[in-house]
Amino acid sequence: MEYAQAAPELIAMHPSQTPTTVAQMLHMAQTQGLERLDAQLLVLHAMGRSPHDRAWLLAHDTDPMPHATQTALRTTVQRRLGGEPLAYITGHKEFFGLDLQVDARVLVPRPDTETLVEWALEVLADAPAATVHKVLDLGTGSGAIALALKHTRPELRVSAVDFSANALAVARANAQRLELDVSFSQGSWLSGVQGLFHAIVSNPPYIADHDVHLAALTHEPLQALTSGSDGLDDIRNIITQAPAQLHPGAWLLLEHGYDQAAAVRDLLLAAGFAGVQSRQDLAGIARCSGGYYRNNIATSIGEERKTIEDLM
């Protein structure tokens, strides 16, 4: 095709020569430097199609793209090339089978965090069947973890806390749209939280203040990313506060950085948690660590689990 021979810079400089079909606009997005999947998802978004509808691109590749849609697509392509997360551009991110609405007020939910949800469901499955299980999600952000737990186990009584009023607005909107009954409140970790829980889960900030990886995360809220000189300040606070809010035998589960598993396990052990262990994410990295709380007469939920010492 003639458009394939044109230099990308000429396409950008002469709007009158701009490609007009779906296929041509997809080609344009890729020649500008986008990965093929990102280009496909932005074209689908511009055309008002589902992100799962990539087969539509083949069936409608010769369809003309309206000029206004072309203009909108060019804008989103430049935003993506500038490093803005795709989820902020489209306004959506799938997590644990849920379509969450997200924007720059919250972190983009990552697939690795599904490891934390799966672990929480696992430990809760070991709890006494007659008990109404109460779960607390700290630093809920978009509500991803809390909503995934409630959607998978509707009988759970799920509460969620965040320090950011803006993040809570996003989480509440997601809960309302998905018709999931989760109780949200504003606060700093466990300060002001009442009652005992059968599990506390959290994906807190865990990046060190001057970590080089922050350069790639400039579009996301900094307060949801960083936590002191070693990235562990918030995790320390949670581990210190959690025992007072846990039923004996209940679990505290934490997501953390790729190189923090040993440090987090040490913090849990020092705070008196038992059964301390880590779980790997989709890439095989120890991404979550946790343990259960017990007093002198209590036994754990699922005490038969191997501790980290057993695994070494």
CATH of the domain at 140: 3.40.50.150
Are 121 and 230 part of one and the same domain?
A: yes
- For position 59, what pLDDT does the model report? 93
Q: At 49, give phi and psi (nearest 5°).
A: -105, 160
The reply to whether 98 and 60 lie within a common domain is: no
pLDDT on residue 295? 66
- Per-position DSSP letters for the chain, written without gaps between them: -GGGGS-HHHHHH-GGG---BHHHHHHHHHHTT--HHHHHHHHHHHTT--TT-HHHHHHTTTSBPPHHHHHHHHHHHHHHHTT--HHHHHSEEEETTEEEE--TTSPPPPGGGHHHHHHHHHHHHTS-TTS--EEEEES-TTTHHHHHHHHH-TTSEEEEEES-HHHHHHHHHHHHHHT---EEEE-STTTT--S-EEEEEE----B-TT-GGGGGGTTS-GGGTB-SSSS-HHHHHHHHHGGGGEEEEEEEEEE--TT-HHHHHHHHHHTT-EEEEEEE-TTS-EEEEEEE---TT---TTTTSPPHHHH-
Please tell me the distance from the alpha carbon of residue 204 to that of residue 80, in angstroms, as a whole number. 26
* Shared-domain flag, residues 15 and 132: no
Identify whether 113 is part of a domain. yes
With respect to residue 104, please indicate whether it lies within any of the assigned structural domains.
yes
**Two tokens at 256?**
């953390």
For position 223, what pLDDT does the model report? 80
Q: How many domains does the chain have?
A: 2
Domain boundary among 32, 64, 82: 82
Confirm if 81 and 65 have CB atoms less than 8 A apart. no
In a domain, residue 203? The reply is yes
The pTM of the full predicted model, rounded to 2 decimals, is 0.86
Cα–Cα–Cα angle for 188, 308, 288, nearest 5°?
35
pLDDT confidence of residue 17: 57
Of 27, 47, 82, the one marking the end of a domain is 82
pLDDT in tens, the chain (312 residues): 333 333 343 344 344 554 589 999 999 999 999 999 999 999 999 999 999 999 999 999 999 999 999 999 999 999 999 999 999 999 999 999 999 999 999 999 999 999 999 999 999 998 766 678 999 999 999 999 999 999 999 999 999 999 999 999 999 999 999 999 999 999 999 998 999 999 999 999 989 888 887 888 888 888 888 878 899 999 999 999 999 999 999 999 999 999 999 999 999 999 999 999 999 998 999 999 999 998 643 444 444 344 444 444
Mutual orientation of helices 22-31 and 67-81 as an angle, nearest 10°?
20
Beta bridge partners of residue 246, listed in sequence order? 197
Domain residue limits at 9: 2-82
- Judge whether 87 lies within some domain: no
Among 61, 82, 103, the domain boundary falls at: 82
What is the C-alpha separation between 279 and 264, in angstroms, rounded?
12
In a domain, 44, yes or no: yes
> 283 in a domain, yes or no?
yes
Query: Given this model, what pLDDT does residue 60 score?
Result: 92
Residue 32 and residue 127 share a domain: no
User: Can you tell me the distance from the alpha carbon of 293 to that of 299, in angstroms, rounded to the nearest whole number?
Assistant: 9
Q: What is residue 10's predicted lDDT score, i.e. its pLDDT?
A: 33
70 shares its domain with 135: no
Are 126 and 239 contained in the same domain? yes
